[in-house]
Structure 1
Amino acid sequence: MAGDGVIRVGVAGAAGRMGLSVCAAVEAADGLVLAGQADPALGATLEQILGDVDVVVDFTRPDTAQANAEACLAAGVHVVIGTSGFDQDAVAAAAAASKDGARAFFAPNFAIGAVLMMRFAAEASQHMKKAEIIELHHDQKLDAPSGTAARTASMMAGDVPIHSVRLPGLVAHQEVILGGLGETLTIRHDSLSRESFMPGVVLAVRRVADQSEPFVVGLEHVLFPSA
């Protein structure tokens, strides 16, 4: 962190749809400064901005997110990861080995409502007989099932099947349908624009340096510290 208390933020994948939203959110947030933008489309690599930033936000691709996170941690830079589908064990090991105490944070979903949906679904699964998840995303999303759906299922009791839909016109949507004797319960969250993820991203950027563990997964640990 800069000596004046300002957090200097770099964005990996800055020219992508999520990256552009993150850049705008950082510029609008008090106490944050957009200090670096890395993206092949901008002609700037991650290595070129690491010396100028305190935290990197990564919204790239599953095949580059792990290497990006490891490079950040090796340079003593905290990293907030929004890309899913990477090797979490490798990033956890890199965070644990960081000599400068750099921290890594990953959230399958940064929308506050999505975190609440997962929490409610986990609680409901303790009382309902069976459940299934339907997750729906835009047709450019590379991983299936989504990180949000996989995380939701891991938090719930029992075996929870996941069904993935990829169609143009969608952003990010998920239904958890639970069934019991003569009744069903549906918990649904819809992200109608990428702006829905930005409050969670900004919150993670502010908190990553103070997290107690080298690698933390899930925005619920920021919203509900006892989670």
Structure 2
Amino acid sequence: MKYGIVGSKGKMGREIMEYFSSFGDECVVEKDVDHFVERDVPQLIIDFSSPQGLKESVELCRKYNCGLIVGTTGLTDESFRLLGELSKTLPVVQSYNFSSGMSIMKEILKAFREQFKDWDCAMIEIHHSQKKDAPSGTAKMLKEVIQRDLSISSIRVGGIFGEHTVIFSNAGEVVEISHRALSRRAFSIGVRRAALFLLTKEKGFFTYEDVLKGVDKAAEELRGISELL
């Protein structure tokens, strides 16, 4: 796979390049502040930069006629307008979190939110001290899943990759649902799954949940073929 990355000098950008290289994938376009390297034409662009850099990522996709994966947080309405326009002609995968475990947590919250509707609810999210946005994009995403107003406490300390805990409580008991990323590798694994998924699409706007469903469908088809054989 030949790919480009916007935010190539960032921690997540470097992690993605290291992980992808273990499969023989080649980063042919690197873009960051005052840095641009073009070695070949990419099959897709990966953006882990900033909301301000998204416009350049969209322009690169139009230049190379390739899809886009966006993991940047702090996106605005204008950001989603740009992505929506791009998705009319090219495939786009956008998520604030590319961890499979977080996708499972979302499904758990979706399944049980009605049972907790009469309980108090709050959220705590912890990230490294260099993270600029608060609350995190993942915290906002979880709040949308829960579908209620709740307090979000954001802590920025040390080098923590990401922890999110949703707390439900009544007068006599507490239920906590948590996810903790142990390294950035959890996200880079998800980004590569998204990349492989993206290469099968001609256009459209997709989430990481769409990616996982696509992977599950492919696995089911392969199982069906093996049973016939």
TM-score, normalised with respect to structure 1: 0.83
Count of residue pairs the alignment pairs up: 210
Corresponding residue number in structure 2 for 1:3: none
SS at match of 1:44: strand
Deviation beyond 4 Å, 4+ runs, structure 1: none
Corresponding residue number in structure 1 for 2:184: 194
Q: Is 1:27 the counterpart of 2:21 in the alignment?
A: yes
Mark the runs of 5 or more structure 2 residues left unpaired by the alignment: 217-229
Aligned 1:20-169 pairs, distance under 5 A: 20-29=14-23, 32-40=25-33, 43-44=35-36, 48=38, 52-64=41-53, 66-75=54-63, 76-87=65-76, 88-98=79-89, 102-128=90-116, 129=118, 130-169=120-159
Identify if the C-alpha distance between structure 1 residues 124 and 56 changes in structure 2 by more than 3 Å, giving closer, same or farther. Answer: same
Out of 205-214 and 127-136, give the one that drifted further: 205-214
SS at match of 1:56: strand
> 1:73, 1:103 within 8 Å by CA — same for their partners in 2?
no
CA distance in 2, matches of 1:205, 1:214: 14
> 1:9, 1:26 within 8 Å by CA — same for their partners in 2?
no
Q: Deviations over 1:53-85 (max 9, x none)?
A: 011111112221x21332134222211111111
Q: Deviations over 1:81-104 (max 9, x none)?
A: 111112342233322443xxx211
Q: Deviations over 1:35-61 (max 9, x none)?
A: 2222236x316xx46x61011111112
> 1:72, 1:78 within 8 Å by CA — same for their partners in 2?
no
Q: State the Cα distance separating 1:170 from its structure 2 match.
A: 1.8
CA distance in 1, matches of 2:159, 2:205: 34
Q: Is 1:8 the counterpart of 2:8 in the alignment?
A: no
Q: State the Cα distance separating 1:213 from its structure 2 match.
A: 5.9
> 1:118, 1:155 within 8 Å by CA — same for their partners in 2?
yes
What letter corresponds to residue 123 of structure 2 in structure 1? Answer: I
> 1:70, 1:94 within 8 Å by CA — same for their partners in 2?
no
> 2:73, 2:136 within 8 Å by CA — same for their partners in 1?
yes
Corresponding residue number in structure 2 for 1:171: 161
CA distance in 1, matches of 2:186, 2:88: 33
Structure possessing the higher radius of gyration over alpha carbons: 2
User: How many percent of aligned residue pairs carry the same amino acid?
Assistant: 24
Superposition RMSD in Å: 2.2
CA distance in 2, matches of 1:169, 1:127: 35
Q: Deviations over 1:132-178 (max 9, x none)?
A: 11111111111111110101110113223322111123221110112
Out of 187-196 and 173-182, give the one that drifted further: 173-182
